[in-house]
Amino acid sequence: MTKHLTKRKLDKTRNDRLYFDSYSDVTIHEEMIADHVRTNTYRTAITKNSQYIRGKVVLDVGAGTGVLSMFCVQAGAKKVYAVEACSIAEQAEKIVKHNNMEDRIEVVRGTLETVDLPEMVDVIVSEWMGYALLHESMLNSVLYARDKWLKAGGLILPSKAELYIAPISDPVVQDRLYFWYTVKDRYGVDMTCMSDFARRCIMNSDIIVNSVTTEDVLSHPAHFAELDLYSIKVEELRSVKGQFRCESFGSAAVNAFCIYFTVTFSCADTQQALVLSTSPFKPETHWKQAVLYLDTPVDVVQDTVFAGTVSMFPSEKSTRHICVHVDYTIGEQERQSKTFSIPDWSSEAQP
């Protein structure tokens, strides 16, 4: 028992180290800040909430380069605690000084879960969203911050997250599967017997992060989950699930589902709540969409019904890795189910 616990603890420490290492390089921060949909929506949301930020104390959970902290100072914050666990905190410190904001922003190096702040805060701001929303499990840290450091009635930016699913027909996969039927014409060697193997390799259980073009989306997306950041509990993140139902626009060979998310920033005028969307129907963000391939393509016609349940949960191997289980029917076909996960990130930076 003790041994098992120690191993789990070591694995968690190793995973956290790999995770924070992925944020120590410039590339990921460049990608995030260059994502103008992301960065401008946060900036606008902070500016629009200036009446709640002016003269107040803010906690920036996972401050990175400190960009959101600086937006908060521009909106009039009295003090911002910019908590950042990895070495990018050193750059944040430099940028803060470079912008003469050191009297208002305190960069606190450490994990949110371990740092000690001198006071409770009025506002929490954080950009915590990973691929398919929950990859990286950083929302846990925001909820921890909420429960420990946010004053009663305090503001959380953003305050709501929503998840959507839609069936798609990925033409690249169709072409790749068809490729083995074209080899004979090109080289005189019949390789059609490769098609099954190719299908299993390509339509595997990896979550592929890719840009889905609007023409490839086969139905109106279905909303399947909503997270209210004021009320959701950390335990509820162990399984985020919901049902979906959508109908095909027309005839096509469906070969995947795509999942995307939105986050909403409430504003003083509720009519003007601001939405950061990663929908394929909106301008592209660095999150793109999460594509989940079926085992085999299925031919559908107009009004074919896609229905089922999606559940998202942290992987047993690493709690920062998200898994997605989809249980679905397509038209009259038998019920199918498949579990997907994001390939190992140890060699790659994350958003």
Ligand X SMILES: C[S@@+](CC[C@H](N)C(=O)[O-])C[C@H]1O[C@@H](n2cnc3c(N)ncnc32)[C@H](O)[C@@H]1O
Is there a catalytic annotation at residue 332?
no
Q: Considering only residues 3 through 62, tell me which ones interact with ligand X, judged by CB under 6 A.
A: 20, 23, 32-33, 62
Which residues fall within 8 angstroms of residue 178, CB to CB, at 6 or more apart? none
C-beta of residue 265 within 8 angstroms of C-beta of residue 45:
yes
- Least distance (Å) from ligand X to the CB of residue 38? 7
Is there a catalytic annotation at residue 348?
no
- Least distance (Å) from ligand X to the CB of residue 24? 8
Which residues fall within 8 angstroms of residue 326, CB to CB, at 6 or more apart? 165, 257, 292, 308, 309, 310, 337, 338, 340
Give the separation between CA 333 and CA 351, rounded to whole angstroms.
37
Given 113, 136, 247, 334, the catalytic residue: 136
Length of the chain: 351
Which residues fall within 8 angstroms of residue 320, CB to CB, at 6 or more apart? 15, 16, 19, 135, 136, 137, 314
Smaller CB separation from ligand X, 63 or 168: 63
Q: Considering only residues 242 through 281, tell me which ones interact with ligand X, judged by CB under 6 A.
A: none
Q: Is residue 40 helix, strand or coil? A: helix
Two structure tokens written together for 43: 């900036």
Q: Under rule CB under 6 A, how many of the chain's residues touch ligand X?
A: 21
C-beta of residue 350 within 8 angstroms of C-beta of residue 27:
no
Among 15, 41, 141, 262, binds ligand X (CB under 6 A): 141
Which residues fall within 8 angstroms of residue 62, CB to CB, at 6 or more apart? 83, 84, 85, 112, 126, 127, 128, 138, 141
CA torsion through residues 262, 243, 211, 217, sign:
negative
Smaller CB separation from ligand X, 4 or 233: 233
Of 2-10, 111-119, 241-249, 341-349, which segment contacts ligand X by CB under 6 A?
A: 111-119
Among 44, 99, 111, 210, binds ligand X (CB under 6 A): 111
Q: Is residue 218 at the binding interface for ligand X, with CB under 6 A as the rule? A: no
- Least distance (Å) from ligand X to the CB of residue 140? 8
Among 46, 70, 112, 290, binds ligand X (CB under 6 A): 112
Given 84, 93, 127, 162, the catalytic residue: 127
Q: Is residue 99 at the binding interface for ligand X, with CB under 6 A as the rule? A: no
Of 7-15, 109-117, 216-224, 263-271, which segment contacts ligand X by CB under 6 A?
A: 109-117
Smaller CB separation from ligand X, 92 or 330: 92
- Least distance (Å) from ligand X to the CB of residue 133? 12
Q: Considering only residues 55 through 84, tell me which ones interact with ligand X, judged by CB under 6 A.
A: 62-65, 67-68, 83-84
Two structure tokens written together for 13: 């420490």
**Which residue's C-beta sits nearest to ligand X?**
62
- Least distance (Å) from ligand X to the CB of residue 252? 35
Number of other CB atoms surrounding residue 184 within 10 Å: 12
Which residues fall within 8 angstroms of residue 278, CB to CB, at 6 or more apart? 260, 261, 262, 285, 287, 288, 289
Among 45, 79, 122, 127, binds ligand X (CB under 6 A): 127
Q: Is residue 85 at the binding interface for ligand X, with CB under 6 A as the rule? A: yes
Smaller CB separation from ligand X, 62 or 221: 62
Number of other CB atoms surrounding residue 113 within 10 Å: 12
Q: Is residue 107 at the binding interface for ligand X, with CB under 6 A as the rule? A: no
C-beta of residue 339 within 8 angstroms of C-beta of residue 241:
no
Q: Give the residue carrying structure tokens 């559908």.
A: 300
Chain residues that interact with ligand X, rule: CB under 6 A: 20, 23, 32-33, 62-65, 67-68, 83-86, 88, 111-113, 127, 138, 141
| Active site members | 127, 136
